[in-house]
Chain A
């Protein structure tokens, strides 16, 4: 049996910075995954095209920043556009999906990925773009002799934290949140109680879509804007939702943080079996390994019901 060893060359400061990286990545993942878990958990729709809305958000932020010259104006307009897009799509496409099986949902939303990708290519082309960091956050904090941390990344985490809190209060503490939760338990009964479930679902859906798009917008300055960016985030978001438990915001937050940690430390901590280094190979599969372990332990996800 070869000896398995774990080695790293981290001092405390480096470790703390890596922790910051992990939390910061986790917050962004939560923002994307929260919309997915809402739509999945409350409306029972598997939306494979969720990542495409992340991409749309980023492209909107880029093109509108170019037009208006101001990132924040661009974000406000882009958010409005995504909400309208969400309302429109719910009415003409997604509202047909509530009572059909998951296979049809997967087929239609996969088709939507292709449609959105082609539209993106027609409207914005296939080029890679970058968005300037807004000037008030355009600075860095010197942490170590060689490393500094961009203020925008910290601001990004703060924005995500605020939205997480807002969602928690909205779903858990308000009357609107109560009706949304009721609607997810029993659609017919909620409707019988005089609540317009059609409108309610339309709002939740467009809000879920807008969350993904918003994540794309605010990530655009630290990321780059490119075709296919949605596909990457989609897979990780699904892992977050599945690990956290479908429909659970608390679960999504915990899972996003776990994945942030595993992804970050998976890339820098070296695992050796005998003399064979597993580092690069392991960082690619660490997320899936985490998902497999959690699902063996709790098939319904950490905070999943039933």
Chain B
């Protein structure tokens, strides 16, 4: 489109001056660096992560953890890796194009990504039909290791089903026989709900109602009023980020917190505790990790991460770290021959990973079989009360690999 600036009622210079001043500032944050020296002997790793937008922090934590794991084991000389970075912007509409760029144009051997489930579903379409090895460091969409599972696709994080499945048992132990589930109306929320419902019914509970809020709406007041009228024994929720902060604060402000206990998938209190403040105190959640886990691997991981990056490690850094461990262990098995894709896949299947979250093993559907911990917010920290479920495996419904 040809825009004639003269037709506008101001001088071209003023416009350009003003515009560039603003554009210049805005691009600083999004500029990405790419490795300049590329060699055909080097292993090519594509990092397709969110570097801008709401999930920017998560993307960075995953990358930090991943690179830390590669450096730690020393099997990979950092000089022998070519990194290709793409900002996926958490935009599912661009997922296929971005994955295509990395796999077809850059011909990466390993594709790492990403945080957003919708973007992962787009990446799968490309990765499934390539011989690149894809490692998912966060997105919990069940299909990636369920109906859409493939031999070259692995996940090192969780399925949305996993953290909430053990909650049913916990609620019944505490005598809460009737519960309401509340979440955003989107895929992750529905999958978390399904996990909870399956576990809850199995242990004799009754899910009397599911309340949905359109994503990413954060107006909860109407539904809180409804909860107070229905008076269930407990409320279980799945929210994250800004919505998690607002929901927890609204729940406490409405006085419900002292009357009807609130439980949730652990993402409710990950990375947002300072913002939630006193409103989160006492909340119980289940997740595959907690900052306060008392095992030696976690302690040394957290210390080293802080020394290296000057930030506290979180669950996303752990998932990135484990992605790096899986990659370096599998490369070890094939003596560094990264072209031996089937050898690497065989190495990862059934692999045992000594993770900061505790030992876990890779399932036949390529998802971690891992412990889920019951945590409680005590003094603004997620303290581990106990292991809610030992070695929980996702049912991986519809996966042809099992």
Contact = CB atoms under 8 A, between A and B. Distances in A.
Contacts of B229: 9-11, 14, 144, 147
B217 interface: yes
A284 B185 contact: yes
Contacts of A128: 241-242, 244-245, 271-272, 275
A243 interface: no
Interface in B329-343: none
B402 interface: no
B246 interface: yes
A144 B228 contact: yes
Nearest to B55: A126
Name the prevailing secondary structure of the B interface residues: helix
A157 interface: no
B52 interface: yes
Contacts of B28: 118, 122
B228 A228 contact: no
Contacts of A125: 57
A115 B221 contact: no
A92 interface: yes
A229 interface: yes
Nearest to B29: A118
A191 interface: no
Contacts of A224: 218, 242, 245-246, 249, 275
Interface stretch (A70-78, A173-181, A202-210, A261-269): A261-269
A63 interface: no
Interface string A242-262: 000000000000000000000
A296 interface: no
A142 interface: yes
Interface stretch (B7-15, B170-178, B290-298, B367-375): B7-15
Contacts, number: 165
Q: Which of A121, A150, A228, A267 has the most CB of B within 10 A?
A: A267
A119 interface: yes
A126 B256 contact: no
A258 to B, nearest CB: 15
A145 to B, nearest CB: 8
A119 B25 contact: yes
Interface size, B (range): 35 or more
A263 B223 CA distance: 11
Interface stretch (B111-119, B208-216, B301-309, B390-398): B208-216
B271 A146 contact: no
Interface string B191-234: 00000000000000000001111101111011111101111000
Nearest to A17: B225
Nearest to B213: A267
Interface of B: 3, 8-10, 14-15, 18-19, 22-23, 25-30, 52-54, 56-57, 185, 210-214, 216-219, 221-226, 228-231, 241-242, 244-246, 249-250, 253-256, 259-260, 271-272, 274-277
List of 7 A-B pairs having minimum Cβ-Cβ separation, nearest first: A226-B242, A148-B255, A224-B245, A280-B212, A147-B228, A130-B275, A284-B214
12 contacts: A18-B225, A118-B25, A128-B275, A129-B245, A129-B274, A130-B276, A132-B277, A222-B246, A228-B242, A229-B242, A267-B222, A281-B185
